Amino acid sequence: MIKSRKLQITLILTLACICTPILGSEPNETKTELKFEIKSTQQARMLLRAQSKPPYGSTHYAVLFIRGDWSHYRNRTPIEAILETSLGRAMSQQQRDVISNQLINFRDYNTTISNYTYFQLFAVSEEDVKKMVNAFIEVLVNKTNKEMQHFLSQQQKYQKEIDEIKKKLPEKQKQYDEAKSKYNEIKDARYFSLGGLEVYIKAKDTMLQMVKTLDTLEIELAGIQEKLNSIEKYRRRKYAEDAKNFSPETLDKLDQMFIEQMIELSGVKARQHAALKIREREKEFLVLFNQQSNLEDEVNNLKNSLKISENNLRSAEKILDNPVPEMLPPKVFQNKVTIYPVK
């Protein structure tokens, strides 16, 4: 978990409580309103000389340095987001029309100020340029708030995953250990010289062999039963009126044949019972093989998922412990914004 819960809580409160576009601050910094400084026309001309042409209708532009690397905002600043802020809506219609058709001018600036990004913001009046700056800062506040909330959500997500896995893993591990122990006991007693897939193949072949044996025995039983039916049919004639048609020797022979077939029937049924028992034994062993194999996969997957979630959690906490400036409320260098006239 995060080393310092105070830092996390402070960051959340700081981001949540900012309701006006002000200078972004670190957790323990005092919030300060921006200071606007007006420069002369001559200074503005010198600064604009080597830069791109100002948007049509612009009368003023602001220069400010914001802590962090915001180079990804090059020509991609969300103008729509600026217009949707409270100060954006308060700008004059002319200003809204102008900025709707332009991108915020971003330049790499030759300065000794390190770890800050240089921005130019244009407007149609001095009042609008101030609103423009504050609206832009508000957009950055919202962006950093979302960025921080993203990692806080990720932290909660990974922690929840870890808790759920740790809840499931002991029971799955227990089930696997029990199935593995039972499997090894049977394997060592029956297939001690085989391993892994060989055991599965041997058990499956034995079960299929018993299935074929049972089919053969089923045919044998049908033949014996038919013989018994026929013998019984003739034996009954001993007690009928036409018994005189059979000699005593014939009748004794029928009795002897009946007894022999009954003995054969008992033998076939015994073999059938044994084949059934072997088939069910191998079937249960194959089920156990698959069960312990599936449980092993489940346990390994849970352990792997736990490792991934713990690594992800550590990464998220590391970022939350040491957030980059772009994740903190934006800080303007010296809380100062310089405004220049375009002409």
Taking alpha carbons only, the member of 253, 230, 10, 36 closest to residue 132 is 36
10-47: pLDDT as tens digits = 333 233 333 333 333 343 343 558 899 888 765 555 55
For residue 331 the two structure tokens come to 């800080």
| Residue 175 sits in the same domain as residue 299 | yes
The reported pLDDT for the residue numbered 276 is 92
Bridge-based pairing state of the strands 35-38 and 336-341:
parallel
Domain of residue 309 covers 169-318
In b/e form, how buried is each residue of 143-166, taking b as 16+ CB within 10 angstroms?
A: bbbebbeebbebbeebbebbeebe
Beta-bridge mates of residue 60 = 123, 341
| Residue 303 sits in the same domain as residue 176 | yes
| Residue 221 sits in the same domain as residue 87 | no
| Residue 68 sits in the same domain as residue 98 | yes
For residue 127 the two structure tokens come to 């009042």
Q: What stretch of H or E contains 340? A: strand 336-341
Q: CA distances (Å), 336 to each of 18, 40, 65, 74, 224, in order?
A: 19, 16, 8, 22, 109
CATH number at residue 313: 1.10.287.620
The three-point CA angle 153-158-159 to 5° equals 95
Q: Which residues contact 73 (CB under 8 A, 6 or more apart)?
A: 104, 106, 117
| Residue 187 sits in the same domain as residue 289 | yes
User: Three-state SS for 112?
Assistant: coil
pTM of the model: 0.63
Which has more confidence, 322 or 200? 322
For residue 265 the two structure tokens come to 């029937």
| Residue 181 sits in the same domain as residue 314 | yes
| Residue 43 sits in the same domain as residue 120 | yes
State how many domains the chain has.
Answer: 2
| Residue 209 sits in the same domain as residue 151 | no
The reported pLDDT for the residue numbered 282 is 87
| Residue 176 sits in the same domain as residue 227 | yes
Query: Residue 157 in contact with residue 310, Cβ under 8 Å?
Result: no
Tell me: pLDDT of 234 over 60.
yes
Give mean pLDDT, residues 302-327: 93
Which has more confidence, 33 or 210? 210
| Residue 9 sits in the same domain as residue 109 | yes
177-209: pLDDT as tens digits = 999 998 888 888 787 777 778 888 888 888 899
Tell me: pLDDT of 167 over 80.
yes
| Residue 85 sits in the same domain as residue 100 | yes
| Residue 305 sits in the same domain as residue 184 | yes
